[in-house]
C-alpha cells in the first residue's frame, strides 16, 4: 500500500513508541500523587512540557496538554471567547477555510452566546489578506483565529503579519497549527501568536493527544473543570504516555524538518509534474509557493473524487478528497468553494499528501496509475 | 451490501468461488440526515418537523443506516474484501423519490423498487462497477439468470418461490443480465440463513424489497403530506353516478380495491373503484363493480430484447407479491400491450407493473396505464375515472 494521506494522520515513529513505553505498566503513577511513582510521572509530563516549550520558544507554563487538536481549538475559542464576553467583547474574526473544529465552535458561540462572527474572504489561492483582518477589527473584537496551514489545499497563511496587527490592537490571536506541526517553524514569538493548537498524530505521534499554547496573560476560561490539572486550564488526569509521545514526536519532526521538507518538496514536484503532463483538465489548488512541502491538492474536472479514491484504493494507493472528516459526504468542500471554485469543480478535489516513508518509485507508480483511473471515472455516464 | 443476510451470503459465496469481490453499499437519499451543524443550519431543504431532534447521528434511510454500514463493513472485513459506501443520494432522489411523489400526485400507485433497480442499482451502480473495472454486479436478490438455446440471457424466478424477486428485476435487459450475478437465487431463504450461520455472518434480513426505504417512519401517507402537500387534498367520495357519499383525506390514501377507511355507512360494503385526479375524487362502489379483466401497459421491457410478434398466453403478476394470473398478452403499437385476464382481478392499480411470466421465466413487463372491462353496468353519467 502506498500511503499518500499524511495530512489525515501518520504512523507513530518507533522512537516515539519507545519513549512512551515505560509509562504504561512501569511508571504508571498519577502525576498528582505524592509518592515516587507519581513523582516520576509528573516529572515526565513536565519534561515533555519543557521539550515542547523549547520547540515553540515559549515558557513551559504556557503549554496546555489536551486530548486532540479539535479540543485545543475548542479551548482557544470558547476559553478566550467566553472570558472576553465577560468583558463585553463578543466579536470573532476568522476565515472561511478553517477546520470545522474552529468553524463549528465559532458558529456555536454565535448561536448560543450572542457572538458575531466576521468571516474574512480568501483569494483563489486560499490566502487571507492581513489588511482585511485590520479592517475587520472592532472595539469589541474578542479573538482573531486564522489557521497556519490549510488541511485541504496546503496554503500557508501570513501569520506573523496578521499577528502583528492583532497585537497592535491588543486582541488575542489564535492559530490552528495542526497541519503545520511537523513541517513549519512553531516559534510563537516569530509568528506573533497568542494561542496555537497542535495534534500529535499529524507528526508521527500517537492519536488522542494535542496541545494548546496559551501566551501568559491571555484570559482563558477553562471549558473543562475538575481536579485543577494543567494549571486549572484543562482538568483531568494527565495522559502521561501520550504527552511524552507528543513531545518526543514534535522534537524529532522539528529536528529533521529542513532536510525532510526539501525531500518532500522534490517528491511533490515530481508527482505534480507527472500528473499534470498526463491528465488533461487538471489544476493545482492552493498557493504555488506558500504551502506545505509534501501537500499536493488537485482539482480534476469532470471526475467526482469518490470514484477516484475507490479506484486508487483498489490500485493500492491511500488518498483523500480533502479533509478525512468530510469523506462519504456529498457536500463540496467549504474550503474550495470559499476560494472561488464551483461546487462541481470542488467535487473533483483530490489530495495527495506525502510523508516520511514515500519514495520516488511510489510517486512514479501513482503517476502511472492515476491517469487511467481518471479516464475511467470521467467516462461514467451520469 | 446491506449488512443483512442475503447480500452477505452473496458476497461470501462469490469469494469462495474465487471471484475478486468489491463490497459496495449505496448511500441513498433519506428524509432526514444527521443533524446539521449550526453553521449550516437553515441552508438545506426544509425537513419534516416530525424528525427534528430525532435520529441523532443516524441516517434514516433504512437501506443505509449507520448501523447497517457498520454491519456491512464488518462482513466485508470478515470476508477480507474492500468495502465502500458509494454516494447515490442525488440520482436516487431524482430517479426514485421524485418519481414516487409525482406518481402519487398523478393518482397512480408507483413501485419505487422497480425504478430503483432500473435507474440506480442496475443503472448508476452498474455503471460505477464498470468504472471500477468490475466484470459483474452481484446483489442479494432472489432470482436466477440462465441462457437460452440462442445464447440470450433469461431472468428466472428464485428457487425460493416465496422470496422470489424477479418482479422488481423485470426492468433489466440483456446488457444488465449479462453482468448480473444473483448468488442466493439458487437457494431458499432457510438455506441462505444456514449458509450465513455456518460462516458466522449475520442471519437477519435488513429490509424487504417492498419497503419504502426512504420514508423514515414507513408511513408513506405522512411522507406525501410533507413532501407533496398539494397532492394530498381532501375531496369528494363519489359513487359511479356522481353522487357525493362523503369526503376523502387525499387521493394517495386510497388504492383500487381498498375497502376500509372510507368512513361511509352504506347498506353494502363499498370499495375504491378508481381515482379521478381531474376532480380530486375517489370513486367507490360495491364489490361486484370492482373486478376488471383487461389492462393496458405502457411500453414493455422485453427481457429478451425482442417484442413478440403477436398475442401469447402468459401468467401475469400485477403486484410484487400477487399471485400470477392467466392472461393473453397482445402487443400494441409503440411497445405497449393489452392484457386480457381469464378471470377478472379486483386490485389492478395503475402505476404498478404488469410482469409477464412463462412458467418460471420472467419475460418482462410494463407499467399499468389503465384498466377496462367493468363487470357491472357503466351508466352514461359516470365521472371519468383515471383507472
Q: Which tens digits make up the pLDDT trace of A300-348?
A: 999 989 999 999 999 999 999 865 544 455 678 999 999 999 988 998 9
| Cβ neighbours of A311 in B, within 8 Å | 131-132
Q: Which helix (H) or strand (E) holds A202?
A: none
pTM of the model: 0.87
Of B37, B38, B87, the CB nearest to A306: B87
Contact call for B127 and A381, based on CB within 8 A: yes
Domains assigned to chain B:
5-199 (3.40.50.620), 233-289 (2.30.30.280), 292-372 (2.40.30.10)
Predicted local confidence at residue B43, as pLDDT: 43
Contact B132 A310 (CB under 8 A): yes
B134–chain A Cβ distance below 8 A for any pair? no
B22 touches chain A (CB under 8 A): yes
pLDDT beneath 50: ranges in chain A: 325-327
Question: Is B279 at the interface with chain A, CB within 8 A?
Answer: no
- Three-class HEC string of B38-83: HHHCCCCCCCCHHHCCCCCCCCCCCCCCHHHHHHHHHHHHHHCCCE
Nearest-angstrom CA–CA distance, B166 and B168: 6
SS3 state of residue A141: strand
- Domains belonging to chain A, first-starting first, are 2-6+257-378 (3.90.1150.10), 14-252 (3.40.640.10)
* Nearest residue to A49 (alpha-carbon basis) of A247, A252, A188, A208: A247
In angstroms, the CA A153 to CA A231 distance is 36
Nearest to B132 among A106, A314, A328 (CB): A314
**A79 φψ region: left (φ > 0), alpha (ψ -120 to 50), beta (else):** alpha
On whether any CB of chain A is under 8 Å from the CB of B84, the answer is: yes
Say if residues B378 and B298 touch (Cβ distance below 8 Å): no
Query: Can you give the pLDDT at residue B212?
Result: 80
Handedness of CA B92, B93, B99, B105 (dihedral sign): positive
Taking the C-alpha atoms of residue B249 and residue A83, their distance in angstroms, rounded to an integer, is 57
Give how far A316 is from chain B: nearest CA, Å. Answer: 11
Cβ contact A311–B132 (<8 Å): yes
- Residue B131 in contact with partner chain A when CB distance is under 8 A: yes
Partner-chain contact B133 A376, CB within 8 Å: yes
B73 at interface of A, judged by CB pairs closer than 8 A: no
Q: At what angle do helices A360-378 and A305-314 cross, to 10 degrees?
A: 130
Q: What residues of B act catalytically?
A: 116, 213
DSSP A122: B
Cell of A199: 495534534
Of B86, B91, B131, the CB nearest to A379: B131
HSE toward the beta carbon, residue A338, CA cutoff 13 A: 20
A108/B133 CB distance under 8 A: no
Q: Tell me which of A307, A318, A321, A337 to substitute to probe the interface with B (most B C-beta atoms closer than 10 Å).
A: A307
Question: Which grid coordinates belong to A111?
Answer: 448561536
- Chain B nearest CA to A28, separation (Å): 34
The partner residue sitting opposite B131, judged by closest CB among A106, A328, A377, is A377
- Residue A372: closest CA among A310, A319, A325, A308: A308
Give the cell for residue B233.
Answer: 387534498
B31: left (phi over 0), alpha (psi -120 to 50) or beta: alpha
Please report the beta strands in A183-278, taking only residues with DSSP state E, as ranges in sequence order. 195-199, 210-214
The H-assigned helical ranges of chain B are: 5-16, 66-79, 89-92, 98-105, 112-115, 126-131, 166-169, 174-177, 189-199, 220-227
Q: In chain B, which residue's Cα lies nearest the Cα of A102?
A: B39
> Do the chains contact at B87 and A328, CB–CB below 8 Å?
yes
Chain B residue numbers with beta carbons less than 8 Å from the beta carbon of A106 are 39
- For B338, the enclosing helix (H) or strand (E) is strand B337-345
DSSP H or E stretch at residue B4: none
**CA–CA separation, A36 and A29 (whole Å):** 8
Distance CA A245, CA A242 (A): 5
Cβ-proximal residues to A153 (8 Å cutoff; 6+ apart), any chain:
A97, A126, A285, A286, A287, A291, A295, A297, A335, A336, A339
* Alpha-carbon distance A173 to nearest alpha carbon in chain B (angstroms): 22
Q: Strands A141-145, A91-94: parallel, antiparallel or unpaired by DSSP?
A: parallel
B342 touches chain A (CB under 8 A): no
A–B interface: beta-carbon pairs under 8 A: 45
Residue A47: how many other CB atoms lie within 10 Å: 14
Question: Residue A22: its pLDDT value, please?
Answer: 97
Residues of B in contact with A103 (CB under 8 A): 39
Interchain contact, A376 vs B131, CB within 8 Å: yes
| Cβ B173 vs Cβ B362: under 8 Å | no
Residues contacting residue A328 through CB under 8 Å, at least 6 positions apart: B27, B85, B87
**DSSP secondary structure code for residue A341 in this structure:** -
Residues of chain B with pLDDT under 50: 33-58, 209-210, 375-384, 386-387
pLDDT for A188 equals: 98
Interface of A with B (CB under 8 A): 100, 103-104, 106-108, 110-111, 306-307, 310-311, 313-314, 328-330, 376-377, 379-382
Please report how many Cα atoms fall inside a 13 Å half-sphere around the Cα of residue B367, on the Cβ side. Answer: 15
Q: Identify the CA nearest to B131 among candidates A369, A310, A327.
A: A310
Residues of A in contact with B82 (CB under 8 A): 313-314
Closest residue by Cα to residue A351 from A297, A286, A284, A270: A297
First to last CA, chain A: 31
Please answer whether residues A142 and A115 qualify as being in contact, where contact means their C-beta atoms are separated by less than 8 angstroms: yes
User: According to the model, what pLDDT value does residue A334 have?
Assistant: 93
Task: Give Dmax over CA atoms of chain A in angstroms.
Answer: 70
Contacts of B132 in chain A (CB under 8 A): 307, 310-311, 314, 376
Q: State whether A100 and B82 contact (CB < 8 Å).
A: no
Residue A58 a catalytic site member: no
Q: Which residue has the cell 387534498?
A: B233
What does the alpha-carbon distance between residue B197 and residue B206 come to, in Å, rounded to a whole number? 16
| Beta strand pairing call for B153-157 and B143-147 | antiparallel
Q: How confident is the model at residue B66, as a pLDDT?
A: 76
Residue A20, C-alpha cell as written in the block: 512512551
Residue of A nearest to B37 (CA): A104
Specify the DSSP element, H or E, that contains B358: strand B353-358
CB atoms within 10 A of CB A120: 20
Residues with Cβ < 8 Å from B372, sequence gap 6 or more?
B292, B293, B294, B295, B296, B387
B82, B86, B131 member nearest A313 (Cβ): B82
**Of B215, B183, B218, which is closest to residue B201 (Cα–Cα)?**
B183
**Residue A110 Cα, gap to closest chain B Cα (Å):** 9
Write out chain B residues lying below 8 Å of A381, CB-based.
127
Q: Do A106 and B84 touch (CB under 8 A)?
A: no
Q: Does B244 touch chain A (CB under 8 A)?
A: no
pLDDT, position B216: 72
Query: Is B128–A380 a contact, with Cβ atoms under 8 angstroms apart?
Result: yes
Residue with cell 388504492: B255
Whole-number percent of chain A with pLDDT over 70: 97
Amino acid at each position: 500500500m502506498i500511503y499518500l494521506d499524511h495530512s489525515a494522520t501518520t504512523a507513530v515513529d518507533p522512537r516515539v513508541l519507545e519513549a512512551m513505553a515505560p509509562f504504561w505498566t512501569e511508571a504508571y503513577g498519577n502525576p498528582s500523587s505524592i509518592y515516587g511513582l507519581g513523582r516520576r510521572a509528573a516529572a515526565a509530563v513536565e519534561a515533555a512540557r519543557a521539550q515542547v516549550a523549547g520547540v515553540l520558544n515559549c515558557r513551559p507554563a504556557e503549554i496546555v496538554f489536551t486530548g486532540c487538536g479539535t479540543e485545543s481549538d475548542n479551548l482557544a475559542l470558547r476559553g478566550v471567547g467566553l472570558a472576553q464576553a465577560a468583558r463585553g467583547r463578543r466579536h470573532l474574526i476568522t476565515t472561511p477555510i478553517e477546520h470545522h473544529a474552529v468553524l463549528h465552535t465559532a458558529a456555536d458561540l454565535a448561536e448560543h452566546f450572542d457572538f458575531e462572527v466576521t468571516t474574512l474572504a480568501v483569494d483563489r489561492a486560499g490566502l487571507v489578506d492581513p489588511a482585511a483582518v485590520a479592517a475587520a477589527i472592532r472595539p469589541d473584537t474578542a479573538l482573531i483565529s486564522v489557521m497556519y496551514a490549510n488541511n485541504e489545499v496546503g496554503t500557508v497563511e501570513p501569520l506573523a503579519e496578521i499577528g502583528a496587527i492583532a497585537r497592535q490592537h491588543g486582541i488575542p490571536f489564535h492559530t490552528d497549527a495542526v497541519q503545520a506541526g511537523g513541517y513549519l517553524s512553531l516559534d510563537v514569538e516569530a509568528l506573533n501568536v497568542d494561542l496555537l493548537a497542535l495534534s500529535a498524530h499529524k507528526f508521527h505521534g500517537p492519536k488522542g493527544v494535542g496541545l494548546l499554547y496559551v501566551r501568559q496573560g491571555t484570559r482563558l476560561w477553562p471549558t473543562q473543570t475538575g481536579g485543577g490539572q494543567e494549571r486549572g486550564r484543562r482538568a483531568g488526569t494527565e495522559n502521561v504516555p501520550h504527552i511524552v509521545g507528543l513531545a518526543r514526536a514534535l522534537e524529532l519532526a522539528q529536528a529533521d524538518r529542513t532536510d525532510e521538507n526539501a525531500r518532500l518538496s522534490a517528491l511533490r514536484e515530481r508527482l505534480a509534474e507527472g500528473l499534470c503532463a498526463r491528465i488533461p483538465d487538471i489544476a493545482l489548488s492552493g498557493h504555488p509557493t506558500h504551502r506545505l512541502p509534501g501537500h499536493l491538492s488537485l482539482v480534476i474536472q469532470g471526475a467526482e473524487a469518490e470514484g477516484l479514491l475507490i479506484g486508487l484504493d483498489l490500485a493500492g494507493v491511500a488518498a483523500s478528497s480533502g479533509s478525512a472528516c468530510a469523506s462519504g459526504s456529498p457536500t463540496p468542500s467549504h474550503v474550495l468553494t470559499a476560494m472561488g471554485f464551483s461546487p462541481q469543480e470542488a467535487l473533483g478535489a483530490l489530495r495527495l499528501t506525502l510523508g516520511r516513508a514515500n519514495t520516488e518509485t511510489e510517486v512514479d507508480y501513482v503517476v502511472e496509475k492515476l491517469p487511467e483511473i481518471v479516464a475511467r471515472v470521467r467516462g461514467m455516464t451520469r | 451490501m446491506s449488512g443483512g443476510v442475503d447480500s452477505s451470503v452473496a458476497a461470501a459465496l462469490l469469494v469462495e468461488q474465487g471471484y475478486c469481490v468489491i463490497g459496495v453499499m449505496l448511500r441513498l437519499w433519506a428524509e432526514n440526515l444527521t443533524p446539521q451543524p449550526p453553521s449550516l443550519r437553515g441552508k438545506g431543504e426544509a425537513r419534516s418537523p416530525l424528525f427534528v431532534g430525532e435520529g441523532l447521528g443516524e441516517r434514516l434511510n433504512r437501506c443505509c443506516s449507520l448501523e447497517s454500514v457498520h454491519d456491512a463493513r464488518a462482513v466485508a472485513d470478515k470476508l477480507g474484501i474492500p468495502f465502500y459506501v458509494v454516494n447515490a443520494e442525488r440520482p436516487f432522489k431524482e430517479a426514485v423519490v421524485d418519481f414516487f411523489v409525482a406518481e402519487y400526485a398523478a393518482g397512480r400507485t408507483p413501485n419505487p423498487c422497480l425504478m430503483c433497480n432500473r435507474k440506480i442499482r442496475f443503472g448508476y451502480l452498474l455503471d460505477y462497477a464498470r468504472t471500477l473495472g468490475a466484470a459483474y454486479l452481484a446483489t442479494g436478490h432472489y432470482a436466477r439468470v440462465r441462457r437460452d438455446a440462442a445464447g440470450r440471457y433469461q431472468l428466472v424466478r428464485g428457487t425460493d418461490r416465496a422470496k422470489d424477486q424477479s418482479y422488481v428485476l423485470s426492468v433489466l435487459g440483456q446488457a444488465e443480465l449479462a453482468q448480473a450475478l444473483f448468488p442466493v437465487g439458487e437457494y431458499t431463504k432457510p438455506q441462505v440463513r444456514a449458509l450465513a450461520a455456518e460462516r458466522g455472518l449475520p442471519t437477519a434480513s435488513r429490509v424487504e424489497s417492498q419497503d419504502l426505504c426512504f420514508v423514515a417512519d414507513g408511513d408513506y401517507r405522512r411522507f406525501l403530506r410533507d413532501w407533496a402537500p398539494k397532492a394530498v387534498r381532501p375531496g369528494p367520495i363519489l359513487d359511479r353516478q356522481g353522487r357525493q357519499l362523503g369526503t376523502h383525506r387525499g387521493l394517495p390514501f386510497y388504492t383500487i380495491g381498498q375497502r376500509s377507511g372510507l368512513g361511509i355507512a352504506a347498506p353494502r360494503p363499498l370499495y375504491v373503484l378508481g381515482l379521478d385526479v381531474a376532480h380530486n375524487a375517489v370513486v367507490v362502489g360495491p364489490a361486484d363493480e370492482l373486478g376488471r379483466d383487461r389492462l393496458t401497459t405502457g411500453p414493455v421491457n422485453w427481457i429478451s430484447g425482442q417484442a413478440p410478434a403477436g398475442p401469447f398466453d402468459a401468467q401475469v403478476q400485477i403486484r410484487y407479491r400477487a399471485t400470477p394470473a392467466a392472461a393473453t398478452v397482445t402487443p400494441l403499437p409503440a411497445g405497449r400491450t393489452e392484457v386480457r385476464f381469464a378471470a377478472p382481478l379486483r386490485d389492478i392499480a395503475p402505476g404498478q407493473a404488469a410482469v409477464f411470466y412463462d412458467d418460471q421465466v420472467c419475460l418482462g413487463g410494463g407499467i399499468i396505464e389503465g384498466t377496462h372491462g367493468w363487470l357491472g353496468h357503466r351508466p352514461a353519467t359516470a365521472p371519468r375515472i383515471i383507472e
